A = this chain, B = another copy of it.
Amino acid sequence: MNGADALIETLAFNGVEACFANPGTSEMQFVSSLDRHPGIRPVLCLFEGVATGAADGYGRIAGQPACTLLHLGPGYGNGLANLHNARRAFTAVVNVIGDHATYHRRHDAPLASDIAAIAGANSVWVKSADSADGVGALAAEAIAASLGPPGGPASLILPADCAWSPTNSAPCKAERRAKAQAPSSAVEAAARRIRAAARPVLLLGTGACGEAELRAAGRLAGAGIRVLTDTFIARQRRGAGVFAPDRMMYFGEMALTDLTGVDLMVLVETVAPVAFFAYPDKPSVLVPDGCETLGLAARGEDGAAALEALADALGAPRQAKLQPLRLPERQTGPLTPAAAGAAIARHLPEGAIVSDDSVTSGQAIVNLTRTARPHDWLGLTGGAIGQGIPVAVGAAVAGGGRKVVSLNGDGAAMYTLQGLWTMAREGLDVTTVIFANNAYRILGIELGRTGAGEPGPAAAKLLGLGDPALQWASLAGGLGVPACRCDTAEAFEAAFARAMAQSGPTLIEAALA
């Protein structure tokens, strides 16, 4: 038994069941050890951004961390953007980052770099092993840190000699902490202020959008209090039989218009909302002038219990306000995001998981699926596009047969299209939709909003993807995923219905009108 075995035994002992890997030489002992520990499923990703996004998707669904296996600083770097998203989703992920042997580090070999510095910015915990005997205990620390609450990516640097040296250490148990109870004074204060407020709202953060939290928030909605969520939520239960809060609008001035007159904002596992970006002469903080903010439960505290207590204190009805099942009409004609959204809402099966990286095409789909069959929605928490395909990979591995739908802007999908191959390799039941508008459409909007005016030839060249047009069916086919292209509402409806009725990976290019 060596350090790699000790690491894997501690991972497995604490419920880690999947490893999303893109290994190199320094990780060969870990790879070999996986052969001796069949309880951890090795999933090869052809680019590290797929591995880290998949671990995020896995963690969001499983509520348990997966591990990634990454190759030194550059390997971590390739996976950084989706770990940024995972940090903002508070998803438990354990990164195992192979490094040079401890005694080799001082020689500054070509692949050497400051891994701890690179990983630190998006890790809730980062440490390096320095002996095989110490690896297991560090792995347990990493798992505990990743789980939080609120949790996030933890990064364990594993020098090659700590992996290959012998050890007899036993598996270590990771400490698990439940969410702390919010202070009862916070509940009392919130009840008091809500009673006194003219127009109070509740704002739910990413940790407060599960079934229990929404049920409690839905009671408060039944008492006439408006409930919103942050714009991007790691995992939200939605659809028929679920309470549907509103969403903070993406653009700050629209959000503030939407909040006109609000004089109290009660925060549940979140902080006061801010604009995604700053713009000249537009506000950064999305709290109306004169509106008081008040914390009910902080991140890492039990928002569901606090919401139930608040509902009781306010005498809210026992039964939450729930969405009915109501499916949109079948659409015909040009393929717009709304037409695609109608087809998706109509055919999304019960229990589906939606991985959303659809940027400008997404809003119509979000609206149309509010009354679809019950499903989970995984949002772009950190704003780093290229999440949709990888998160779908991990969600499918964790989902135990649940249908996964991945919604992607064409620009966003290009970042991590390699994930399609992993879907093919693993036979994952994922339907990937690419909304092809042949542009970074959002940037055309943002150019004007930042005061940069209309695009000239140089700017147009940096915002357009149409020359040459990406051929998504060809790309998917090259990666082993069957695909089709649809350019009418009817064709998309048929293709999406077919994809929902069968199993296995498939891709639909929605060529938007």
Q: Which residues in A have some Cβ–Cβ distance to B below 8 Å? A: 21, 23-26, 28-29, 31-32, 34-36, 38, 42, 44, 46-47, 49, 73-75, 77-78, 80-81, 84-85, 87-88, 100-101, 103-104, 107-111, 113-114, 117-118, 120-122, 160-161, 164, 232, 271, 274-278, 280, 284-285, 381-384, 386, 411, 414-415, 417-418, 421, 424-425, 442-443, 446-447, 449-453, 455-459, 461-463, 465, 467-475, 477-480
Cα–Cα, bound, A198→B49 (Å):
51
**A383 touching B474 in the complex, CB below 8 Å, given contacts A32-B455, A117-B121, A443-B23:** no
B contact residues around A109 at 8 Å (CB): 274-277
Number of identical monomers bound together in the oligomeric complex: 2
B contact residues around A451 at 8 Å (CB): 29, 164
Cα–Cα, bound, A136→B23 (Å):
42
Contact across chains for B110 and A459 when beta carbons are under 8 A apart:
no
Q: Which among B160, B414, B455, B474 is the interface contact of A477 at CB below 8 angstroms?
A: B474
Q: Which among B103, B117, B453, B471 is the interface contact of A478 at CB below 8 angstroms?
A: B471
**A160 touching B278 in the complex, CB below 8 Å, given contacts A31-B447, A462-B42, A474-B474:** yes
A-B pairs, 9 with minimum CB distance: A77-B80, A35-B456, A468-B480, A474-B478, A74-B384, A32-B452, A475-B478, A101-B278, A104-B278
Whole-angstrom distance between the Cβ of A444 and the nearest chain B Cβ: 10
Whole-angstrom distance between the Cβ of A437 and the nearest chain B Cβ: 14
Contact across chains for B383 and A46 when beta carbons are under 8 A apart:
no
Q: Which among B78, B108, B417, B472 is the interface contact of A78 at CB below 8 angstroms?
A: B78
B contact residues around A274 at 8 Å (CB): 104, 107-109
Whole-angstrom distance between the Cβ of A47 and the nearest chain B Cβ: 5
Task: Name A456's closest neighbour in chain B (CB-CB).
Answer: B35
Cα–Cα, bound, A418→B415 (Å):
8
B contact residues around A101 at 8 Å (CB): 278, 284
Whole-angstrom distance between the Cβ of A20 and the nearest chain B Cβ: 11
**A29 touching B452 in the complex, CB below 8 Å, given contacts A382-B110, A478-B478:** yes
**A23 touching B111 in the complex, CB below 8 Å, given contacts A32-B455, A415-B78, A452-B31:** no
Cα–Cα, bound, A472→B164 (Å):
37
Task: Name A465's closest neighbour in chain B (CB-CB).
Answer: B46
B contact residues around A479 at 8 Å (CB): 468, 470-471, 475
Q: Which among B23, B24, B80, B478 is the interface contact of A80 at CB below 8 angstroms?
A: B80
Q: Which among B84, B118, B477 is the interface contact of A471 at CB below 8 angstroms?
A: B477
Q: Which among B25, B77, B415 is the interface contact of A277 at CB below 8 angstroms?
A: B25
Cα–Cα, bound, A99→B32 (Å):
42
Contact across chains for B284 and A107 when beta carbons are under 8 A apart:
yes
20 A–B contacts from the bound complex (CB under 8 Å): A28-B447, A31-B452, A31-B459, A31-B463, A38-B458, A74-B80, A84-B111, A88-B110, A100-B278, A104-B275, A104-B277, A109-B274, A111-B384, A114-B120, A164-B452, A425-B467, A470-B478, A470-B479, A471-B479, A477-B478
